[in-house]
Amino acid sequence: MKNILILKNESLNKYNSWRVGGAADTLFVPKNLEDLKNFLKKEQYLKPLTFIGLGSNILVRDGGIRGTVIVMYAALNEIHITDDSVYVEAGISCAKIAKNLAKEHFVGGEFFAGIPGTIGGALAMNSGCYGSETWNYVTKVNMIDEEGNIALRLKNEFSISYREVVKPKFNEWFVGAWFNFKRDILADSESKIKEYLNHRKRTQPLNWPTAGSTFRNPKDTFAAQLIEECGLKGFRVGNAEVSDKHANFIINLGDATAKDIESIIDHIESEVFRKKGIKLEREVKILGDFLS
């Protein structure tokens, strides 16, 4: 990936964890932040811009994405750690930062091991698990705009809630963040990470292409429980299926289309509302166009 510069009409199925979807008009993988800044400053790219990381929380429709898709994973991957501050670029995986924090005897970041995406994605949607959320620890962030300008923004400039972050400016994207994790030499963070990873392995269908949790948990209940109670485990459209292991996961059994997956999402929403009177909110972001 690091050698990729600019590709035209590039299939996006290898850039997302569901392994589905059409092509991007243009796809760009920067080598580092300077590379990204220079690309944007030239202003010769197709608009609009779409930023993705590991593609673990998106569904790319079969008609692909217009404009330019910028892949942050494996590009913006620097970590700077001091005694009282941790700075992480947006393209680094959450799993990697969890391991790095534990190695440096920081506590609080172990939950990142359970998030199958990048720091940029975690910042964009306030990802969380095991009782912690990303923005619990953020102090300030670096953003980049369409012209390649970097802006430093404080936490209080954002509206932050469960799985949602409203940015002060629409046309800015996360390129890095400072976190206020604390050091504790006596803490055994690595053991906690192993515990979290074992829990994921036991409860989630990690051996299939999936995008993680499809729906947000409604107040005072769990999306997976509602879906299961509606008898939807194993519900299938084409080669996509509601996981028997975890009902809030939709798996690609092989050669599923984005339309298969979106049809299941629509059906789950309809059935849960019909039987439970609860309107589920999507955690997965649906991008791009239908196949014409």
CATH of domain 206-287: 3.90.78.10
CA 176 and chain centroid, separation = 15
Q: Answer whether residue 2 shows pLDDT above 70.
A: no
The CATH architecture annotation of domain 79-191 reads: 2-Layer Sandwich (3.30)
Q: What is the pLDDT of residue 51?
A: 98
CATH 3.30.43.10 in the chain: give the residue spans: 6-71
This prediction has a pTM of 0.94
Catalytic residue among 66, 163, 183, 216: 163
State yes or no: is 283 an active-site residue: yes
* pLDDT, tens only, 86-144: 999 999 999 999 999 999 999 999 999 999 999 999 999 999 999 999 999 999 999 99
Cα dist. 201→13, 72, 114, 207, 232 in Å?
24, 26, 10, 9, 22
What does the pLDDT look like over 11-39, one tens digit per residue?
999 999 999 999 999 999 999 999 999 99
**Assigned token pair, 7:** 């590709």
Question: Which pLDDT belongs to residue 130?
Answer: 93
> What integer pLDDT is reported at residue 84 of this predicted model?
78
Q: Which CATH architecture has domain 6-71?
A: 2-Layer Sandwich (3.30)
Q: Mean pLDDT throughout 136-159?
A: 98
Reply yes or no on whether the pLDDT at 195 is more than 50: yes
The residue annotated as part of the active site, out of 17, 56, 127, 213, is 213
Residues 33-84: pLDDT tens digits? 999 999 999 988 999 999 999 999 999 999 999 999 999 998 899 999 988 7
Report the C-alpha gap between 87 and 152 in whole angstroms: 13
Judge whether 163 counts as a catalytic residue.
yes
